[in-house]
């Protein structure tokens, strides 16, 4: 099939590359000229493991090309499918900004040949029907097909998804979508467009709740005889719960969970529907940066003024360069407001980028210089260079009181507690006298690898 993918952000570019890998002829549409130039040069404007290699491979086959306007995609041959993957960023009131979706739908309605229109952008329930009321000619060839990608494994998630959701008013639209995904084997959920939209929001809201619940559990596991790692392991082994995203840390972090929970809250409020569970999820998440700051302040003696704090990592996760909702954006200003002298190390960002993110902080390109002379280390990103570092050497370079706050629970507590430092994780992470007696399943990536990608797009 010949498909145009409108919007070459994280979801759109992943989809364009994956569809081309599956044998379709794909045209990626990107109106940002700087980003378009990068795409045509074979340089992905987003970070995703394996994307640059797979993008290069499909570009060589000729099955993938990039254009500036959707009309340009029609020049060579007619289109069978138009897939809309544009952004729906949060407005000031928390609602989803649908301006890019509206433009893409309008342009799609004007195309000759009546291609299938696939809406993958995340939109509030009822959006598709609102659009179809304005463009009734699309009703028979429209399907809402939300994405469920994880940053760090997005290409694999596209090729082997847990499910495909198709919301349409006419079965013919679902038939064409099945043809587009003919090389993919997974369960299908077919519904109305509004139900498909709610499935996406409900999925992200539930995942956000798991993260907030894990952080609340960690607060309850501060007692000396409680081990948060073992609690999470034991709870997550229940197949009704699972380990995915059931991890204490810095909170939701990636942009989509905060954005989508806020949009769902705004939509429900507009319907007059109370959402006490969702409200609690959002409140718990909003409290996490302050909770980490309080843990750090308490550990260094009750005040941060004139304390040298080395922040290791500003990204929420090392496999994603999406900083829009990274907790560091809240935490770094809070540190500086309380008088801390902040140094920042993040191997994924240039010194200029670090300076832009935290203008008053001192950027460091080397891990050793970032921690030398620091009173405290605050780990915000599970960079392998930090997790696998020689912590005996790192902490020996510090000054008293020598505090390490592990805000991602990614460091080995048994090692840190043997060193002459104050080590604090999220929840009590003192090493237990005996290891947990239940072995995690080999098929559970979170149980076997605490740093496995889990960010939901």
Residue 186 annotated to the active site: no
Question: Distance between the two ends of the chain, CA-based, in angstroms?
Answer: 26
**Torsions phi, psi for 41 (to 5 deg):** -85, 0
DSSP string, 233-295: HHHHTSTTT-STT---SS-S-SSHHHHHHHHHHHHHHHTT---HHHHHHHHHHHHHHHHHHHH
**Rg, Å, the chain Cα set:** 24
Contact 344, 371 (CB under 8 A): no
d(CA 156, CA 172): 28
d(CA 368, CA 393): 9
d(CA 17, CA 85): 13
Q: Please, what's the largest Cα pairwise distance for the chain? A: 71
Active-site residue, selected from the candidate residues 85, 221, 256, 410: 256
d(CA 185, CA 390): 44
**Torsions phi, psi for 232 (to 5 deg):** -65, -40
Active-site residues: which are they?
A: 256
């Amino acid at each position: 099939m010949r498909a145009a993918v409108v919007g070459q952000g994280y979801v759109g570019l992943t989809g364009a590359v994956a569809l081309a890998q599956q044998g379709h002829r794909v045209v990626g549409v990107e109106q940002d000229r700087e980003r378009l130039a990068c795409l045509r040069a074979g340089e992905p404007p987003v970070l995703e493991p394996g994307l640059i290699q797979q993008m290069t491979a499909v570009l060589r086959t000729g099955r993938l090309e990039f254009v500036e306007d959707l009309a340009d995609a029609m020049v060579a041959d007619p289109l069978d499918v138009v897939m809309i993957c544009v952004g729906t960023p949060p407005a000031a009131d928390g609602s989803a900004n649908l301006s890019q979706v509206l433009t893409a739908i309008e342009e799609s309605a004007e195309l000759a040949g009546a291609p299938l229109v696939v809406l993958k952008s995340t939109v509030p329930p009822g959006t598709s029907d609102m659009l179809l009321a304005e463009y009734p000619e699309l009703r028979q060839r429209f399907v809402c097909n939300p994405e469920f990608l994880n940053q760090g494994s997005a290409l694999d998630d596209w090729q082997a998804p847990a499910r495909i959701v198709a919301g349409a008013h006419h079965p013919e639209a679902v038939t064409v979508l099945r043809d587009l995904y003919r090389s993919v084997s997974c369960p299908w959920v077919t519904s109305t467009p509004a139900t498909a939209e709610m499935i996406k929001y409900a999925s992200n809201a539930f995942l956000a709740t798991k993260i907030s619940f894990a952080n609340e559990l960690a607060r309850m596991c501060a007692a000396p005889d409680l081990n948060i790692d073992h609690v999470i392991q034991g709870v997550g082994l229940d197949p009704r719960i699972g380990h995915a995203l059931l991890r204490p840390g810095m909170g939701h972090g990636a942009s989509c969970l905060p954005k989508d929970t806020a949009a769902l809250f705004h939509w429900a409020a507009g319907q007059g529907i109370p959402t006490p569970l969702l409200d609690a999820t959002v409140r718990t998440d909003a409290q996490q940066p302050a909770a980490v700051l309080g843990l750090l302040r308490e550990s260094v003696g009750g005040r941060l003024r004139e304390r040298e704090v080395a922040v290791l990592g500003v990204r929420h996760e090392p496999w994603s360069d999406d900083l829009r909702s990274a907790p560091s954006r809240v935490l770094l200003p809070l540190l500086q407001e309380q008088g801390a002298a902040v140094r920042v190390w993040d191997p994924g960002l240039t010194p200029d980028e670090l300076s832009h993110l935290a203008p008053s902080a001192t950027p460091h390109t080397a891990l050793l210089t970032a921690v030398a002379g620091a009173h405290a280390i605050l780990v915000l990103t599970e960079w392998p260079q930090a997790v696998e570092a020689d912590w005996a050497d790192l902490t020996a370079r510090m000054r008293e009181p020598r505090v390490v706050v592990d805000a991602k629970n990614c460091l080995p507590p048994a090692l840190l507690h043997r060193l002459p430092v104050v080590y604090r994780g999220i929840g009590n992470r003192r090493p237990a006298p005996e290891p947990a007696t239940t072995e995690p399943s080999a098929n559970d990536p979170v149980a076997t690898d605490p740093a496995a990608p889990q960010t939901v797009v």
